[in-house]
Amino acid sequence: MKNYFSSDFKLGVLGGGQLGRMLLTETQKLDIYTVILDGNSEAPCSQICNEFHQGDLLDFDTVYNFGKKVDLLTIEIENVNIDALDKLEKEGLTIYPKPSSLRIIQNKARQKHFYTDNNIPTAEFNHYAYLEELKHSYENDIIEFPFVWKSAQFGYDGTGVKVVRNYNDLQSLPDGECIAEKLIPFKNELAVIVARNTDGKVKTYPVVEMEFHPEANQVEYVICPARIDSQVAEKAREIALKVVSDLDFVGLLAVEMFQTVDDKILVNEVAPRTHNSGHYSIEASYTNQFEQHLRSILNLPLGNTESKLAGIMVNLVGTEGYTGDVHYENIEEILKIDGVTPHIYGKKTTKPFRKMGHVTIVNKDINEARKIAQQVKETIKVISK
């Protein structure tokens, strides 16, 4: 086995945001030398990795030259220059997840075609090269309101997704390649994180349940395990495994799904990396998702994905009406509650709905955890001063 635990080995990570920051805790635990590229010189990882490089993740030369400095390359965000990754891979660099997987996932239209091509259940959709094509489609009664518009490229955290209910909504959409998806009446939004190492060994985390903020289209609570029927959970798990297998994926894949009113499971979208829906694992799981990501890309044995306790995650997002130097109001109040752990991502300025941190609640009793999560949500406020 290659000696990852030596200073001769350099792990490169594209992206230095909060996911990179939590990954660094694990590279530090295993003493893996970690080099990070991010466009922002004040990115959450900038001061605490072994080497930090500032540069545009979408620029061919920047990504290519960065790749030349490292022994293994991974990502914490999928919006990176994949042409550069292809060239690096051809020249012999090991990259996980594989550029071929990233190319399918990065474009939401291509991702949807992948599902239908592989008989993976997903909501019906139409694909348009330009917004004008979508408008024509509406005018010719091929699609009807309401539908879900998704930008094909570079949506993140609810940007690039909109429920289109009327003509006004349609007019306000930005131009560009997109899809229009059938609006699915669902009972629950679920997610399953699957880890697969280079040997093809696979483990799944328990199915989690996500409660969304009605306006911001951001996850408010992630609840592990999901309070659903075990047969539905098993179906979700099987579909997630099929996605990973059909992609021939290496690394961590977070599969977001709808549980429809008639208990069908439809894949909504996937993320080829550690994911917000797995943050609970730091406190609740035997092996957290960040350590598991390292285990999978370094081809180490995968860790136990079971939970020690029930876990709920509350996202800490910027309160509406505040932009500026961040202040975490009442953080000391939530620290009084047993089993409550805040994670602050180190972003200097807050703005409405920006992800600034998260709080994990663990408890033997999931209903008690859910009550505490509500209390946490109502107590701590991310504001500016």
**Residues binding a second copy (CB under 8 A):** 1, 3, 5-7, 21, 24-25, 28-31, 47-50, 286-287, 291, 295, 300-301, 303-304, 308-309, 325-328, 331-332, 335-336, 338-339, 341-346, 348, 357, 362
Annotated binding residue 183 = yes
User: Nearest 5 degrees, angle CA 32-CA 29-CA 251?
Assistant: 65
Angstrom distances, CA of residue 227 to CA of 189, 214, 222, 340: 11, 20, 11, 21
Q: How far is the CB of 297 from a second copy (least distance, A)?
A: 14
**Rounded to 5 degrees, what are φ and ψ at 157?**
55, 45
Q: CA-to-CA distance for 252 and 16, rounded, in angstroms? A: 17
Q: How far is the CB of 66 from a second copy (least distance, A)?
A: 18
Q: Which residues make beta-bridge pairs with 294?
A: none
- Both tokens of 254, joined, read 């977070």
Which residue type, as a one-letter code, is found at position 96? Y
**Rounded to 5 degrees, what are φ and ψ at 222?**
-115, 125
- State which residue, 94 or 101, has the beta carbon closest to a second copy: 94
User: Nearest 5 degrees, angle CA 261-CA 263-CA 266?
Assistant: 95
- State which residue, 6 or 118, has the beta carbon closest to a second copy: 6
- State which residue, 193 or 265, has the beta carbon closest to a second copy: 193
Q: CA-to-CA distance for 35 and 71, rounded, in angstroms? A: 10
- Both tokens of 71, joined, read 């022994």
- State which residue, 79 or 384, has the beta carbon closest to a second copy: 384
Q: How far is the CB of 50 from a second copy (least distance, A)?
A: 5
- State which residue, 1 or 230, has the beta carbon closest to a second copy: 1
CB count within 10 Å of CB 86 equals: 17
Q: CA-to-CA distance for 226 and 233, rounded, in angstroms? A: 8
* CA-wise closest residue to 152 among 99, 106, 98, 102: 106
Q: How far is the CB of 250 from a second copy (least distance, A)?
A: 17
Annotated binding residue 181 = yes
Q: How far is the CB of 252 from a second copy (least distance, A)?
A: 16
- State which residue, 21 or 108, has the beta carbon closest to a second copy: 21
- Residue that has been written with the tokens 């504001």 in this structure: 383
Annotated binding residue 150 = yes
Q: How far is the CB of 362 from a second copy (least distance, A)?
A: 7
Annotated binding residue 269 = yes
Q: How many whole angstroms from its chain centre is CA 211? A: 15
Q: How far is the CB of 153 from a second copy (least distance, A)?
A: 31
Annotated binding residue 189 = yes
Q: How far is the CB of 368 from a second copy (least distance, A)?
A: 13
- Residue that has been written with the tokens 């429809």 in this structure: 260
Annotated binding residue 42 = no
Is 357 within 8 Å of 316 (Cβ atoms)?
yes
Q: How far is the CB of 322 from a second copy (least distance, A)?
A: 15
- State which residue, 118 or 304, has the beta carbon closest to a second copy: 304
- State which residue, 160 or 346, has the beta carbon closest to a second copy: 346
Q: Which spans in the chain are helix H?
A: 18-29, 60-67, 82-90, 99-106, 108-117, 131-139, 167-171, 230-247, 281-284, 289-297, 331-334, 366-379
Residues in the chain: 385
- Both tokens of 145, joined, read 């309101």
- State which residue, 129 or 335, has the beta carbon closest to a second copy: 335
| Binding site per annotation, positions for ATP | 108, 150, 181-184, 189, 268-269
Point out the annotated binding site: 108, 150, 181-184, 189, 268-269
